[in-house]
């Protein structure tokens, strides 16, 4: 995909920002181009890197002691969390690191989190509930108490893995405290979005919000309730009756309840071998000095507390969600790796200060294949937002970063970094603001860096990257103050550079 159409002008331009309901904002956001911080020439930098091939998930870098030492030195409880609005490529890093951990655990979210990973033969797997460590045969995968579980979807994933030779028996545990997400939650999700009309949130319509709502008003049904089919029908009737009273378009009667109860009797029998007190399992593993890797779903900018509310998810994808979603003490949390794209994307409605509108955004979307793993929806695309990234790093306390999809920018003659915000009157905005009105009107200041315009997808050593690519990586490190230890240069399992 040729992205040369994204060449930048040398003079400031103005572009209308998308309003939060998906339309256009009447105002315009001015853009200030700053000189390249490194002061380097912007002429085309040719690539002289050599291609490196390897069948190992870690590539040639795995053979170096410093890389193994770095991964091996990760804390007993480490985590991989998103730094933007999700879809950063967290699953790939989890898959690679999983071989060095005993347990990979999901702590929040549900089937709205889609992680795409590839096995050693290059076969693609799209996971939604099953942790991305499942491709590593020695890894135990845990779905924690903070996750909302749609059983039909979980069984479909398990069947798909088993049919491709990936054994799940004895390798997946589901918390008995996790809440069940029913099909009717998905119906309610769609009805709720329809009610909001032009102010819709842009959810995946997978029922995540309604399920968490049931949990919070304390009439939800948990996995442990499947062991008590004598009381299960009454609890389900309460849930369904509540939905029917709230939404006129929701059809409910005795036949619906009877069919659903019979269905869940079968589900309960199949799920029983997977059910466990995962709070006990996790903490017992810690006492045995076993290592746990936490796989976050979504990302900090979608956090119910810290994200662009109300255009957020219904759980806590930031560091705090690890403790509440798995039942572990804050004092045991160690290294957290933040995953960030070399540019920015988001789906659905909501503020997006560095969004590229029009043809430029379309070109970036096609080059990066930016379509949702869960829904297939096209993602909105824009430049890397350093202000948002620094905000996420502050909240989570990341020890290092994983910069993904650097290869997607390879055709660009120049690249922008959104380095600061200002209000319309020129007042600096010191952090990522909570006020949507401020976000709608702010101005983004950009630095312009040279592109490298050559294929870097076969490179496996950092020193072999073209100079401009290294300058881009190191400028991000300088602005954020956190080292980038992992760099993604392609979708393959081995397409990762260790820095």
- Among the listed residues 180, 129, 175, 177, the one whose alpha carbon sits nearest the alpha carbon of residue 155: 129
Does the annotation flag 112 for ligand binding? yes
CA-to-CA distance for 436 and 259, rounded, in angstroms? Answer: 44
CA 337/CA 482 separation, integer angstroms: 10
369 labelled ligand-binding: no
Residue 86 counted as an annotated binding residue: yes
According to the annotation, is 297 in a ligand binding site?
A: no
**Is 406 assigned a ligand-binding role in the annotation?**
yes
The token pair at 394 is 């502050």
Flag whether 39 is marked binding.
Answer: no
Cα(71)–Cα(62) distance, integer angstroms:
10
Ligand-binding annotation for 115, yes or no, is yes
Q: What is the DSSP letter of 300?
A: G
- Closest CA relative to residue 135, chosen from 116, 152, 154: 116
Whether 490 has a binding-site annotation, put simply, is yes
DSSP state of 343: S
Give the span between the Cα atoms of 89 and 344, in whole angstroms: 12
Cβ-Cβ contacts under 8 Å for 492 (sequence gap 6 or more): 118, 122
Whether residue 61 contacts residue 67, with contact meaning beta carbons closer than 8 Å, is answered with yes
Catalytic residue positions, numbered = 87, 115, 215
Q: Is 114 annotated as belonging to a binding site? A: yes
488 annotated ligand-binding residue: yes
Residue located via tokens 């990760």: 74
Q: Count Cβ atoms below 10 Å from residue 199 Cβ, excluding itself.
A: 13
Q: Is 375 annotated as a binding residue?
A: yes
405 is in an annotated binding site: yes
User: CA-to-CA distance for 191 and 237, rounded, in angstroms?
Assistant: 19
Residue with tokens 């989890």: 94
The response to whether 344 counts as a known ligand-binding position is no
CA dihedral 43, 467, 369, 30 (to 10 degrees): -60
End-to-end CA distance of the chain: 27
92 annotated ligand binder: yes
313 is in an annotated binding site: yes
Report whether 40 belongs to an annotated binding site.
Answer: no
- Give the residue ranges of the annotated binding site for GTP: 86-92, 114-116, 379, 405-407, 488-490
- Residue ranges for the known binding site are 86-92, 112-116, 204, 218, 298, 313, 373-379, 405-407, 488-490
Residue numbers belonging to the annotated binding site for substrate: 373-379
* Residue list for the binding site for IMP: 87-90, 112-115, 204, 218, 298, 313, 377
């Amino acid at each position: 995909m040729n992205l040369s159409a994204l060449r930048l002008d040398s003079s400031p331009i103005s572009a209308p920002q998308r309003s939060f309901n998906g339309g256009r904002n009447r105002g315009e956001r001015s853009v200030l181009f700053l000189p390249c911080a490194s002061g380097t020439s912007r002429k085309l930098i040719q690539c002289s890197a050599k291609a490196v091939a390897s069948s190992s998930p870690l590539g040639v870098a795995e053979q170096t002691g410093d890389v193994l030492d770095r991964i091996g030195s990760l804390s007993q409880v480490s985590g991989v969390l998103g730094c933007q609005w999700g879809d950063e490529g967290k699953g790939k890093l989890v898959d690679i690191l999983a071989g060095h951990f005993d347990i990979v655990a999901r702590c929040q979210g549900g089937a709205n989190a889609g992680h795409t990973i590839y096995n050693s033969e290059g076969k693609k797997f799209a996971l939604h509930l099953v942790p991305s460590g499942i491709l590593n045969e020695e890894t135990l995968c845990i779905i924690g108490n903070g996750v909302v579980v749609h059983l039909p979807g979980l069984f479909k994933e398990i069947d798909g893995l088993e049919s491709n030779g990936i054994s799940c028996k004895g390798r997946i545990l589901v918390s008995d405290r996790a809440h069940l997400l029913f099909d009717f939650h998905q119906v309610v999700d769609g009805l709720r979005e329809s009610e909001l009309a032009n102010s819709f949130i842009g959810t995946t319509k997978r029922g995540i919000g309604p399920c968490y709502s049931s949990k919070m008003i304390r009439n939800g049904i948990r996995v442990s309730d499947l062991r008590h089919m004598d009381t299960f029908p009454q609890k389900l009737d309460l849930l369904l009756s509540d939905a029917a009273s709230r939404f006129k378009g929701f059809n409910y009667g005795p036949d619906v309840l009877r069919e659903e109860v019979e269905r869940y009797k079968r589900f309960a029998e199949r799920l029983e071998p997977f059910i466990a007190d995962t709070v006990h399992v996790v903490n017992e593993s810690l006492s045995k000095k076993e290592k746990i890797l936490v796989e976050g779903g979504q990302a900090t900018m979608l956090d119910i507390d810290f994200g662009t509310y109300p255009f957020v998810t219904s759980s806590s994808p930031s560091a705090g969600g690890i403790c509440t979603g798995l039942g572990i003490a804050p004092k045991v949390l160690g290294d957290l790796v933040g995953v960030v794209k070399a540019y920015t994307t988001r789906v659905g409605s909501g503020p997006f200060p560095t969004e590229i509108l029009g043809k430029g955004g379309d070109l970036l979307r096609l080059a990066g294949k930016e379509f949702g793993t869960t829904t297939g929806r096209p993602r909105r695309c824009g430049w890397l937002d350093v202000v948002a990234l620094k905000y996420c790093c502050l909240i989570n306390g990341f020890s290092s970063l994983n910069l993904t999809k650097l290869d997607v920018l390879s055709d660009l003659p120049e690249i922008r970094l959104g380095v600061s915000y200002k209000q319309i009157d020129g007042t600096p905005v010191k952090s990522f603001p909570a006020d949507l009105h401020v976000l709608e009107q702010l101005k983004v200041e950009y630095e312009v860096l040279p592109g490298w315009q050559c294929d870097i997808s076969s490179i496996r050593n950092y020193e072999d990257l073209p100079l401009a690519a290294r300058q881009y990586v190191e400028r991000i490190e300088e602005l954020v103050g956190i080292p980038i230890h992992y760099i993604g240069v392609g979708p393959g399992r081995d397409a990762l550079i260790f820095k």
